[in-house]
Amino acid sequence: MECHVYYEGDDDPEKCTARRLERFDRAILHRSMGQVPYGVVLNPHAERALSPADEDEALGTLVALDCSWESAEEAAFSMPGEHRALPFLVAANPINYGRPFQLTTVEALAAALRIFGYPEEAEDLLEPFRWGETFLELNAEPLERYAACADSSEVVAVQDEYLADE
């Protein structure tokens, strides 16, 4: 599964997980929307939750948008592809540690890989980050449960259980 990132460059380059992914040859960065390949786009504004059933739609390609949370409005996600939202997960990165839905680009891509049934690839993607393993540990149970779902509606049902506990 190839990981691609549309890079807006509006956040701190020292803390940018997408740039580090590119540096370690774990993802391809695109600075023009027209260069981004078709695949499953990780979009927090999407109407459907990501599920294992979406793997066929991905055509071997995951796409994320790397921008600051302040500019991550719906219009920024006008990329072609099948748009899917990640279900409830908790961030492990130092800036948003413990916050639900506040994932970095690498956390989002790793979560999608794990939901699609690629745990080794998710671990490999997170390897350059000292907190990467923590992300998988914090979210081990929900990621396993989401990966066992048949479709988006089952993922939402599992997510609702976690949100009811919040």
Write the DSSP symbol of residue 100. Answer: B
Strand 40-42 to 28-30 pairing: unpaired
Listed by start position, the domains of the chain span: 2-165
pLDDT of residue 161: 93
Torsion angle in degrees (nearest 10) through CA of 37, 38, 41, 46: 140
pLDDT above 60: residue 75: no
pLDDT above 80: residue 10: no
List, for residues 101-154, the tens digit of each pLDDT value: 999 999 999 999 999 999 999 999 999 999 999 999 999 999 999 999 999 999
Determine the length of the chain.
166
pLDDT of residue 20: 87
pLDDT above 90: residue 69: no
At 83, phi and psi to the nearest 5? -85, 130
CA distance 102 to 107: 9
pLDDT of residue 71: 55
pLDDT of residue 155: 98
pLDDT of residue 12: 65
